[in-house]
């Protein structure tokens, strides 16, 4: 047994006691009436960092809920600097009546701990406290082997509205060689895995204008362009028969999956039929030819129609050629696509294909979200894999995520590779009643964190 594991197993009660205290604080960032509780959660965490030995601990104010910053320099020359990201706010709890035990009264049943935030994300922040102590104890160090910085925000469950600005404002304090995100899941309990990428996003509204008034389809139909027909044709034209997106240059920057990553994906025990019917509540797979379902949602960009409206949509019928048609479109992006280039391609697509007599306006919501990708053979990922393998004593596979939250901001603002150390399980019911964390997973998380600082200390992150 490694010294790290021995320490973790000896001190599990400390981790449970930490969580029991922290999880009793109802830090729901979406509820303005609980703003005081979110602050109390930040203060609890700041105190826990101090207790653990961090010499610098600060509450960082934002226009919304406060974040917690903690820093512990290694003291070693040339030690890499690591930022750990997590969040201390939690999801709302309704419907309350579906909880078997109250959401803010942490309850252990068997090997599971039930409470709102047990996994997402207090559990995955708390395991770092024990993990770091195990790292120090096992290595006999008085400071971590890497320069450690934690930034734990308080508004992730509200969409991180102020986090990107906070990162930019505190850019110098957060300078680092890699970011470790602890807010994700593994493939399943038997399959430890590391997330390596998140898709980006850019989305827009398309406004199509035809006649200046709704026209009688008997008197005019067939002789003037119908904006709804044109919109449907333009949307239909976004994909070819192979399900590929036809936007000019859309795939030019896409980083192809490597044979190794595809092979690792294929080793995941993924039941496509179950995912389609039970998870996606759908009846058939669909997508870009030549890719599996997992590859489609993790590693390929998309063009989706999120909404369409125009013309008469009430009860009964009204036979018009309508004046207007509208759609909301979103594009999921993968490394190294750039949201602004995709926006330009979308505008070019509509400009080039709009037929005479129709005008099309395309309005994008902001600058979009960049995709992020840390290749599976990147030294930082290799370090995470080694740490996980020591904790789980099992081959570590790779996953990706189809969407992203603040991770994209971390990668973009801090200009550092983002890696993921997460031990949640897909059925941990985060965001739902009876959220839980499986305690053996939590302990493995602490142990993997303990290994990780030692592994990263000997990793060249300059690549």
Instruction: Name residues contacting a copy of itself, limited to 351-410 (CB under 8 A).
Output: 355-359, 365, 401-404
Task: Decide whether 105 or 304 has the Cβ nearer to a copy of itself.
Answer: 304
Report the candidate in 283, 291, 289 with the shortest Cα–Cα distance to residue 265.
291
Minimum CB–partner distance for residue 354 and a copy of itself (Å):
11
Site for a copy of itself in 165-204 (CB under 8 A): 199, 201, 203
CA distance 318 to 313: 9
225 binds a copy of itself (CB under 8 A): yes
Binding mask 326-355 for a copy of itself (x = CB under 8 A): xxx-x-x----------------------x
Of the candidate spans 132-140, 284-292, 390-398, 437-445, the one that interacts with a copy of itself by CB under 8 A turns out to be 284-292
Say whether residue 120 binds a copy of itself (CB under 8 A): no
**Segment near a copy of itself (CB under 8 A), from 43-51, 95-103, 131-139, 315-323?**
315-323
* Nearest Cα residue to 195 out of 463, 446, 411, 454: 411
C-beta of 47 vs 367, nearer to a copy of itself = 367
Of residues 110 and 315, the one with the C-beta less far from a copy of itself: 315
Task: Please say which residue, 17 or 340, places its beta carbon nearer to a copy of itself.
Answer: 340
Question: Residue 329 CB, nearest distance to a copy of itself (Å)?
Answer: 10
90 binds a copy of itself (CB under 8 A): no
Q: How far is the CB of 201 from a copy of itself (least distance, A)?
A: 7
Non-local (6+) Cβ contacts of 19 within 8 A are 106, 113, 115, 118, 122, 123, 126
Rg (CA), the chain: 25
Cβ-Cβ contacts under 8 Å for 202 (sequence gap 6 or more): 330, 331, 333, 339, 340, 342, 343, 364, 365, 367, 368, 369
**166-173 long-range Cβ contacts below 8 angstroms, 24+ apart:** 166/60, 166/62, 166/67, 167/409, 167/410, 167/413, 167/414, 168/413, 170/60, 170/69, 171/413, 171/414, 173/69, 173/71, 173/149
Is 215 near a copy of itself (CB under 8 A)?
A: yes
Q: Minimum Å distance from CB 358 to a copy of itself? A: 8
Query: Is residue 223 a contact residue for a copy of itself (CB under 8 A)?
Result: yes
Q: HEC states along 48-73? A: HHHHHCCCEEEEECCCCCCEEEEEEC
Half-sphere exposure of 253 (CA within 13 A, CB side): 18
E strands, 403-462, are 418-420, 436-438
Judged by CB under 8 A, the chain residues 260 through 279 that form the site for a copy of itself are: 276
Residue 62: name the closest of 33, 37, 38, 92 by CA. Answer: 38
- Least spacing, CB of residue 325 vs a copy of itself, in Å: 7
What are residue 133's phi and psi, to 5 degrees?
Answer: -65, -40
Rule CB under 8 A: say whether 244 interacts with a copy of itself.
no
Please state at what angle helix 12-22 crosses helix 122-139, rounded to 10 degrees. Answer: 150
Tokens of 117: 């935030």
User: Which two structure tokens, joined as six digits, stand for 14?
Assistant: 């400390």
Tokens 């559990």 correspond to 123
Residue 325 interacting with a copy of itself (CB under 8 A): yes
CB 36 within 8 A of CB 151: no
Count the site residues for a copy of itself by CB under 8 A.
Answer: 79
Closest CA to 164 of 67, 49, 28: 67
Pick the binder of a copy of itself from 56, 258, 273, 282 (CB under 8 A): 282
Please say which residue, 173 or 239, places its beta carbon nearer to a copy of itself. 239
Length of the chain in terms of residues written: 463
Out of 302, 337, 343, 390, the only residue in the binding site for a copy of itself (CB under 8 A) is: 302
For a copy of itself, what does the binding mask look like between residues 27 and 66, x meaning CB under 8 A? ----------------------------------------
| Contact range with a copy of itself by CB under 8 A, out of 26-34, 42-50, 323-331, 432-440 | 323-331
DSSP state of 145: S
Residue whose CB is less far from a copy of itself, 13 or 283? 283
Shortest spacing between CB 327 and a copy of itself, in angstroms: 8
Residue 325's Cα: distance from chain center in Å? 33
Minimum distance between the CB of residue 91 and a copy of itself, rounded to whole angstroms?
A: 15
Phi, psi for residue 218 in degrees, rounded to 5: -75, -45
With CB under 8 A as the contact rule, the residue among 30, 137, 305, 382 that binds a copy of itself is: 305
> What's the min distance (Å) between Cβ of 27 and a copy of itself?
24
Q: Which of 321, 385, 391, 449 is the binder for a copy of itself (CB under 8 A)? A: 321
CB 231, min distance to a copy of itself, A: 7
| Tokens matching residue 78 | 């040339």
């Amino acid at each position: 047994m490694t010294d790290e594991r021995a320490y973790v197993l000896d001190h599990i009660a400390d981790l449970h006691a930490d969580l029991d205290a922290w999880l009793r604080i109802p830090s729901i960032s979406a509820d303005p009436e609980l703003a005081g509780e979110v602050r109390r959660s930040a203060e609890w965490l700041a105190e826990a960092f101090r207790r653990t030995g961090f010499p610098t601990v600060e509450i960082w104010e934002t226009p919304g809920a406060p974040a917690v910053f903690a820093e512990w320099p290694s003291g070693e020359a040339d030690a890499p600097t690591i930022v750990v990201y997590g969040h201390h706010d939690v999801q709302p709890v309704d419907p309350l009546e579906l909880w078997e035990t109250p959401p803010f009264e942490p309850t252990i049943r068997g090997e599971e701990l039930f409470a709102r935030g047990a996994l997402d994300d207090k559990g995955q922040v708390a395991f770092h406290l024990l993990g770091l102590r195990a790292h120090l104890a096992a290595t006999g160090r008085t400071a971590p082997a890497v320069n450690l910085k934690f930034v734990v925000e308080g508004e992730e469950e509200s969409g991180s509205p102020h986090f990107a600005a906070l990162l930019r404002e505190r850019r110098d304090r957060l300078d680092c060689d890699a970011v470790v995100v602890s807010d994700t899941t593994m493939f399943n309990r038997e399959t430890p895995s590391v997330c390596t990428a998140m898709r980006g996003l850019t989305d827009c509204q398309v406004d199509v204008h035809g006649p200046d008034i709704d026209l009688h389809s008997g008197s005019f139909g067939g002789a003037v362009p119908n904006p709804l027909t044109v919109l449907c044709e333009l949307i239909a034209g976004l994909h070819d028969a192979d399900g590929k997106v036809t936007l000019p240059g859309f795939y030019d920057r896409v980083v192809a999956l490597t044979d190794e990553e595809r092979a690792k994906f294929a080793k995941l025990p993924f039941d496509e039929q179950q995912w389609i019917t039970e998870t996606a509540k759908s009846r058939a797979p669909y997508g870009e030819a030549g890719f599996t379902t997992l590859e489609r949602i993790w590693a390929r960009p998309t063009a989706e129609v999120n909404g369409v409206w125009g013309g008469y949509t009430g009860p009964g019928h009204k036979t018009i050629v309508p004046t207007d048609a509208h759609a909301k479109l979103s594009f999921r992006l993968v490394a190294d696509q750039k949201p602004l280039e995709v926006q330009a391609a979308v505008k070019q697509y509509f400009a080039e294909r709009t037929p005479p007599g129709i005008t099309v306006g395309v309005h994008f919501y902001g600058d979009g979200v960049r995709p992020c990708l840390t290749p599976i053979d990147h030294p930082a990922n290799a370090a995470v894999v080694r740490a996980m393998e020591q904790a789980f004593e099992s081959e570590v596979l790779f996953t990706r995520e189809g969407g992203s939250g603040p991770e994209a901001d971390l990668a973009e603002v801090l200009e550092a590779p983002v890696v993921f150390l997460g031990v949640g399980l897909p059925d941990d019911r985060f965001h739902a009643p009876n959220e839980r964390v499986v305690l053996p997973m939590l302990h493995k998380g602490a142990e993997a964190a303990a290994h990780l600082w030692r592994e990263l200390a000997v990793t060249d992150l300059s690549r």
